[in-house]
Structure 1
Amino acid sequence: MFSEFALHHAWLIPLLPAIAFLFVGLGVRKCWRLSAAVAITMSTASFALALGIAQAVLNLNITVETPFVQRISWMSIPGLHIDMGVLIDPLTAMMLFVVTLVSLLVQIYSVGYMHGDNGFGRFFAYLSLFAASMLGLVIAVNFVQLFVFWELVGLCSYLLIGYYFHKISAREAAKKAFITTRVGDFGLLLGILLLQITFGTLDFVSLREMLPGYIAVYGTAFLTVVALLLFVGPIGKSGQFPLHVWLPDAMEGPTPVSALIHAATMVVAGVYLIARAYFLFSQLPFVMDVIAWLGAFTAFFAASIAFTQREIKRILAYSTVSQLGYMMLALGVGSLTASMFHLMTHAFFKALLFLGAGAVMHALHDEADIFKMGGLRKKLPVTFATMTIGVLAISGLPPFAGFFSKDEILAAAAAVSTPLYLLATLTAFMTAFYMFRLLFVTFFGEARNEHTPHEAPFSMKLPLIVLATLAVVSGLFGHLFGFGDWVRFGSPHHGGIDYTIAGTSIILSLLAMYLAWNIYVAKRWSADAISEKFGCLYDWSFHKYYIDEFYAILTKYFVDGIGKILYLIDIYIVDGIVNALARFTGMFSNLLSRGQTGQVQQYAAVFFCGVIALLAFSLFYAYKMLALMRAGGAF
């Protein structure tokens, strides 16, 4: 059966895009048609294998408790043995399906979006490597394998964010993303090393089996430190406060890159890591509280910034940060199912929104300011219809996907903490408002751009239609067919709808839509007057609370200041001591060198004088000894 073949050959899923990267990058990148064909073909094959694995998980009753594992020895030295391999369970199957599908659709979309670009082949090579890296991370059997692909994902984000390397802004954004996420990766690496020192293994299955015994003997104090260090990695990768600053600047890359980063690859890697190691995090109440509260704050904080942004992709970027906060909140309150359910639905509607934004910008010659758009509803009907579905989904209105997954998060939060629930509900209202603001300003009213817009080509419209369909049905499908029966931690999670929570969120979303319509379409209330009324709050939001400026000052006066101090210490103390020793050695050697002329005659004369002096000393010494012996009566 194909499903069993896919299960036993799951290693092909990341390998095929990696082969595409090598073939396109080293061979045919100058032939744009062949580059796209190779990349899309390999991604299609990976997607087919992912479907086979999903079928195998269902048919063969592969569960969280009984995963399918393949291992081969990678490194074996005294005291350290590391395997590489494949771990397949329902969580892996879901992630493989999402990553391969979104990557495939992004590549198809890119054929039209990147048409005519001089680096077309290079772009598809990078996309293939990005997909391969994320897929390798998903199937990892231990922390070392996960960390290797984790770093490859970071490299790919650097390459793709800085794809337009001739632009200073793109180069700076790529460096910002790479350096900021390295801060988080340092903490993750420390946590991994402590796990290896403590348990002698980094294998996920082995750690899960050893953990209860360790906690029974030693408690959870040390593991709390380890888990917090591990969590620093997802803070950077998944754009949690305060390491979120790289994510909005990642918009400098081409729009398909934004869709891939925000929907299916880099930013969800951190959420996936916590889910994969949930056997550790779930045992540590303090760490769970930190994850929940930081996630809730990040969700609210990013939503408050998106309120006032003008660039279409930047609004969506802060929306991603906010939605990632929701996923972290769900993990922190103990609902892995709700988090992963929202990760899946978010991947579909966020990829849809970014690709729709790309279609709008493509039609308006890269115009990004929504207040310079307007009136596109009839001129871009497919883009308008699909983006409307995406906005309805992220706003949590039924029957769209976001309604089911977001309400599971709200219900999970309400069951644990009323303050967390209220903060998450307020964030849901804010999300609906700024997303309808984006939709209404962009597609309604009068045209505010001099360009004549045109609908996207078929290669760009097809992924929009597929993703719009998924944004409609995926939430309902997951709700009806038991997403929580498979993707879970502990006992199966039968997520029902809490009608009080659902009704409240629906009313708030409709209220947000009503307010946005009256401000930006009906113009019953003036947006400028409202912004002036909020004064400094509006300015803080628009300037992203000056977090970037704070980091710039911190870098200039603290990091650079410490660098200058260390430079002076190096020059005047470290180098001073070394140079002083060198000068002393030089002076002493110069003094000795004056006795060296290189003339054999002089050396012979000195040697002869030395012999004479030695003989004279010997005779004098012998004479003194004889005198002493006579004085003592020896003779």
Structure 2
Amino acid sequence: MFDNVWLIPLFPLIGFLINGLLGKKIKNETVIGSIGALAVFASFIVSVMTFIKLIGLPSAERSVNVKIFTWMTAGTFNADIAFLIDPLSCLMLLVVTGIGTLIHIYSIGYMHGEEGFYRFFAYLNLFVFSMLLLVTGNNLLLMFVGWEGVGLCSYLLIGYYFHKKSAGDAGKKAFVMNRVGDFGFLLGTFTLFWWLGQNHGIWTIQFTELASNANLFPTGGVVTIITLCFFLGATGKSAQIPLYTWLPDAMEGPTPVSALIHAATMVTAGVYMIARMSYLFIRSPETMMTVAVIGACTAFFAATIGTAQNDIKRVLAYSTVSQLGYMFLAMGVGAFTAGVFHLMTHAFFKACLFLGSGAVIHSMHGALHHVHSHDDAQDMRNMGGLAKYMPMTYGTFLVATIAIAGIPGFSGFFSKDEILWQAFANPLHGGLNMLLWGLGACAALMTAFYMFRLVFMTFHGSCRIKPGAEKHLHESPMVIVFPLIVLAILSIVGGYIGLPKLIGDLFGGIPNYLEHYLEPVFANANAYIQAHTHHGHHSHALEWGLMGTSVVIAVVGISVAYLLYIASPEIPKKFTSAFPALHRAVYNKWYIDELYDFLIVNPCKALGRFLWKGFDVLVVDGIVNGVAHVVMAFGGVIRYMQTGQIYNYAWSMAFGVVVIIGYYLFK
């Protein structure tokens, strides 16, 4: 029934090969872009067909392994090239291929005229292929191939403008920091494989077999070690404390790359991996608490930084780090469905926001180029009043901003509110719940503030662009605007598949479709929670109260942004003058990069220089060169025995004869 699922990752791979090998000869941008976009769109069509087939099955049968061929065999261990088709992987397929298609279409217009156009689309297709392999692989080894693939592609695409040192440095930073996390992923895989094989004779890393044997794992102990290792991998890929600093620097890549990384591919990998292995994570209270605390702290910490940034893409980057923190908070409190729900809705509005920012930057670049200005086209302080020049971009951007702020009726409200409710009411962490909710609520307040600060500084007020440049500002072409419209619509309607029961009951008992859909995937974890925790009863009044509080928080954040950047724009200057040290600290990202440089990067460089100049040059090279000098000196002596001159050889023979005769005469 699912024999064609192998086509889903194959199409982007074919697109990568065609554009990568032949793109330089094809040269035509329309053809290159169409090949890249159609490859991902074909995967989307097959994904939709697969999804329809899956929901046609009974709920208990919605988990199908599709083996393509045996990859490697060692004794009783087999690793296959095989795909796991279940509700979770199908949802991820639709998100990755659907949003990936829109980003590819957008890129045709955005990247027009760029050097290496074919290379960009080849990398983009390879990125989608790697992510599809990650989310469909039926075992940890195949997931790791996709895991490493997205890491490679992020390096290639972040450093796309490799002639810029900052882009090259950002690409290397992302690659190195992710290697730290990947080491944790490998350790977790090895420990899991060894423990299950040694203790129970089950040598497997296949997800369905691990899930069916989840009851063999004890609570805590080795499971804590395994899951913490995997969580280290997740913190790298999904940019959580302490491995988050690579993601804001990833803005050095073209804007479509930022959208793809933040919305559909790489940063969602860690969340997906924890959701996929929820049956293991739930068996370690220590790991669950760690995930929840790290997620809540990341959501709060990144939001503080976002309040003071002026680069439009950097604000969105810290917003992503913060929203990923919400997803990890959900995972840490056992609300796996809520975490996946926010992953999906965030993909809609964050892709819209990044692509919208790209449209703004695209227009700003063109306008500044006409007046030969070197002002930063990404600095919001150079913008203002763009709504009248770019009404479609403004409208879609505003919709996505309302969604991420958590205003009722938009997708972000439903998923974010569900996470905050679960953080408050979950049965796992007891007295810690209030702190988790408080951090999440504060992050929500700051999110509403800094996102509307971005909107007001960019689209409202007076235009602050270089005089004479405003007449060159214009709306982007339809190839750029069309994806924004689709994503704005999804930012509105995307949340209605996960209506909380409280709201669903108001409208005649509308069910939470997403919860029912994902129920088979998280049945094991949910059953464990039911069996091992005490569920306190929370009244509907409390839930309504917290929901209302979330709305008030969002409105307050928006109101403060309006006050500071529309009604009284002089206040921010007064504030920064009154608290210059605080502003500098937040603007400089709390100096975390500098701290990492001091504690880790510079000592590693110093150690490297010592090993190079102290050990390698003096010791290793000294020994090698010393041996060479000895040999050369010895050769310099004995070379006089082979001069090539006959009279030297004659004198040597005569001398030898004299010595021999003298020896026998005087012996």
- TM-score, normalization: structure 1? 0.89
* Alpha-carbon distance, 1:194 to partner: 2.2
* Alpha-carbon distance, 1:533 to partner: 3.0
Contact 1:63 1:90 in 2 (8 A): no
Letter in 2 for 1:534: F
Matched residues in 1 for 2:602 and 2:335: separation?
A: 42
Letter in 2 for 1:24: N
Structure 1 residues 69 and 335, CA, compared in 2 at 3 Å: closer, same or farther? farther
* Alpha-carbon distance, 1:435 to partner: 0.4
Aligned with residue 568 of structure 2, among 523, 540, 544: 523
* Alpha-carbon distance, 1:574 to partner: 5.0
Matched residues in 1 for 2:643 and 2:656: separation?
A: 12
Aligned with residue 15 of structure 1, among 10, 27, 34: 10
Question: Partner residue of 1:451?
Answer: 470
**Counterpart check, 1:483 vs 2:528:** no
Structure 1 residues 156 and 63, CA, compared in 2 at 3 Å: closer, same or farther? farther
Where do 1:606-617 residues align within 5 Å?
A: none
Letter in 1 for 2:118: G
Question: Partner residue of 2:535?
Answer: none
Deviations 1:231-278 (A, max 9, x none): 111111111112111111111111111111100001111111111122
Deviations 1:483-522 (A, max 9, x none): 11122412798x9993122100100110111111111011
Q: Secondary structure at the match of 2:100?
A: helix
Matched residues in 2 for 1:272 and 1:90: separation?
A: 12
Matched residues in 1 for 2:570 and 2:638: separation?
A: 93
* Alpha-carbon distance, 1:209 to partner: 2.7
Aligned with residue 120 of structure 1, among 117, 138, 146: 117
Matched residues in 2 for 1:169 and 1:584: separation?
A: 47
Matched residues in 2 for 1:67 and 1:79: separation?
A: 22
Matched residues in 1 for 2:633 and 2:384: separation?
A: 80
Contact 2:353 2:397 in 1 (8 A): yes
Where do 1:402-421 residues align within 5 Å?
A: 402-415=412-425, 416=429, 417-421=433-437
Question: Partner residue of 1:210?
Answer: 213
Question: Partner residue of 2:128?
Answer: 131
Contact 1:346 1:394 in 2 (8 A): yes
Contact 1:401 1:473 in 2 (8 A): yes
Question: Partner residue of 2:176?
Answer: 179
Contact 2:29 2:108 in 1 (8 A): no
* Alpha-carbon distance, 1:351 to partner: 0.2
* Alpha-carbon distance, 1:551 to partner: 2.6
Q: Secondary structure at the match of 2:251?
A: helix
Deviations 1:52-107 (A, max 9, x none): 12212211135598444435310123465321100011100110000001000001
Contact 2:67 2:80 in 1 (8 A): no
Q: Secondary structure at the match of 1:201?
A: coil
Where do 1:527-546 residues align within 5 Å?
A: 527-546=572-591
Question: Partner residue of 1:234?
Answer: 234
Letter in 1 for 2:13: A
Matched residues in 2 for 1:444 and 1:208: separation?
A: 52
Question: Partner residue of 2:151?
Answer: 154
Matched residues in 2 for 1:492 and 1:553: separation?
A: 42
Question: Partner residue of 2:266?
Answer: 266
Deviations 1:153-191 (A, max 9, x none): 111111111112222221121111111211211221222
* Alpha-carbon distance, 1:295 to partner: 0.8
Question: Partner residue of 1:434?
Answer: 450
**Counterpart check, 1:473 vs 2:468:** no
Contact 2:63 2:85 in 1 (8 A): no
Structure 1 residues 377 and 578, CA, compared in 2 at 3 Å: closer, same or farther? closer
Q: Secondary structure at the match of 1:490?
A: helix
Matched residues in 1 for 2:650 and 2:208: separation?
A: 80
Structure 1 residues 594 and 101, CA, compared in 2 at 3 Å: closer, same or farther? same
Letter in 2 for 1:476: Y
Matched residues in 2 for 1:116 and 1:446: separation?
A: 31
Letter in 1 for 2:552: I
Structure 1 residues 499 and 580, CA, compared in 2 at 3 Å: closer, same or farther? same
Matched residues in 1 for 2:608 and 2:171: separation?
A: 23
Structure 1 residues 293 and 245, CA, compared in 2 at 3 Å: closer, same or farther? same
Contact 1:485 1:492 in 2 (8 A): no
**Counterpart check, 1:422 vs 2:449:** no
Letter in 2 for 1:559: C
Q: Secondary structure at the match of 2:71?
A: strand
Question: Partner residue of 2:101?
Answer: 104
Count of residue correspondences: 608
Matched residues in 1 for 2:145 and 2:525: separation?
A: 32
Q: Secondary structure at the match of 2:317?
A: helix
Moved more, 532-541 or 50-59: 532-541
Contact 2:463 2:470 in 1 (8 A): no
**Counterpart check, 1:513 vs 2:533:** no
Matched residues in 1 for 2:249 and 2:190: separation?
A: 31
Question: Partner residue of 1:247?
Answer: 247
Moved more, 175-184 or 499-508: 175-184
Structure 1 residues 143 and 486, CA, compared in 2 at 3 Å: closer, same or farther? same
Structure 1 residues 64 and 233, CA, compared in 2 at 3 Å: closer, same or farther? farther
Matched residues in 2 for 1:410 and 1:191: separation?
A: 30
Question: Partner residue of 2:403?
Answer: 393
Matched residues in 1 for 2:334 and 2:135: separation?
A: 21
Contact 1:220 1:284 in 2 (8 A): yes
**Counterpart check, 1:569 vs 2:588:** no
Matched residues in 2 for 1:440 and 1:282: separation?
A: 43
Q: Secondary structure at the match of 2:241?
A: coil
Q: Secondary structure at the match of 1:76?
A: strand
* Alpha-carbon distance, 1:576 to partner: 5.3
Moved more, 46-55 or 111-120: 111-120
Displaced runs of 4 or more, over 6 A: 578-603
Moved more, 229-238 or 431-440: 229-238
Q: Secondary structure at the match of 1:377?
A: helix
Structure 1 residues 192 and 38, CA, compared in 2 at 3 Å: closer, same or farther? same
Structure 1 residues 595 and 356, CA, compared in 2 at 3 Å: closer, same or farther? closer
Question: Partner residue of 1:325?
Answer: 325
Matched residues in 1 for 2:186 and 2:46: separation?
A: 31
* Alpha-carbon distance, 1:573 to partner: 4.4
Unaligned runs of 5+ in 1: 614-635
Letter in 1 for 2:186: L
**Counterpart check, 1:57 vs 2:103:** no
* Alpha-carbon distance, 1:586 to partner: 8.1
**Who wins on radius of gyration, i.e. which is larger?**
1
Structure 1 residues 600 and 294, CA, compared in 2 at 3 Å: closer, same or farther? farther
Moved more, 268-277 or 574-583: 574-583
Structure 1 residues 578 and 36, CA, compared in 2 at 3 Å: closer, same or farther? closer
Structure 1 residues 466 and 583, CA, compared in 2 at 3 Å: closer, same or farther? same
Deviations 1:400-449 (A, max 9, x none): 00000001110110014111011101110010000011111111111111
RMSD: 3.1
Q: Secondary structure at the match of 2:78?
A: strand
Matched residues in 1 for 2:257 and 2:73: separation?
A: 38
Contact 1:63 1:486 in 2 (8 A): no
Structure 1 residues 594 and 230, CA, compared in 2 at 3 Å: closer, same or farther? farther
Matched residues in 1 for 2:330 and 2:83: separation?
A: 27
Contact 1:62 1:89 in 2 (8 A): no
Unaligned runs of 5+ in 2: 198-202, 367-376, 500-510, 527-537
